[in-house]
Amino acid sequence: MKRLAVIGHPVAHSRSPAMHNAALAELGLAGEWSYEAMDLAPDELAQRVRAMEGEGFVGANVTVPHKGAALSLADTLSETAREIGAANTLSFADGEIVADNTDAQGMLDALPGSPAGRRALVLGAGGAARAVVWALLREDAAVDVWNRTEQRSRDLCAELGGEPVAVPDQSSYGLIVNSTAVGLRGEDPFEDLPLTEEGFGPEQVVLDMVYGAEPTALLRAAAAAAAVTVDGIEVDPLADDLR
């Protein structure tokens, strides 16, 4: 049995096992391949990942909060992962760990149109945010980055581009992307993010990288204001095929 996994902390919310196992079954590979969720705390990550090939794993998806650390564990980096500085995919073969990043293209594919020429606000400064900022800048969007720890947004922009912002004007953005983990455990996004429920508008696109069984509170508020909403599940390349 060839094993695959999604690695995160927490990871119980992930729909990756359901999607990928459905895909394997559709391809007639369910008896040869399996996909599971693996909850690893940060201090468990390195040792566990290095042991995975010996346990029959050939690859893993990586989610919050391990995307930066996953990059540092790899022996070989794709050009995309190297430029972004984070990895959401690891593969194992011949004693080597190879890192890649599909978040950037997945995010662009999930948007209803090109972000070129739009003003975008990216919330967060972790691995997912790095992929979003990198992708939007390459598509010629104007990108502002907010993070609760302001120095982290400054550091990200110094590396990748964009402008750090301490108090963003919510109504001035054509695109807002939440790439923080706020909402993952049911937090109120309007307590933890620099947004208000009333601040969305009908011309905006709002993407929440957090997802669950139902639209997040952030997306519900945006939809109530007639904004175009994009669920984080749409960033997964399997979402369209398995919805």
Catalytic residues: 67
Q: State the DSSP string of 81-137.
A: HHHHT--SEEEEETTEEEEE--HHHHHHHHSSS--TT-EEEEE--SHHHHHHHHHHH
Q: Which residues pair with 177 in a beta bridge?
A: 122, 207
CB atoms within 10 A of CB 93: 10
CB atoms within 10 A of CB 185: 9
Q: For 149, which DSSP code?
A: S
Kindly tell me the burial class for residue 212, based on how many C-beta atoms sit within 10 Å of its own C-beta (0-12, 13-18, 19 or more): middle
Measured CA to CA, the distance from residue 100 to residue 98 in angstroms comes to: 7
Task: Please report where in the chains the tokens 């993952």 appear, as a residue.
Answer: 184
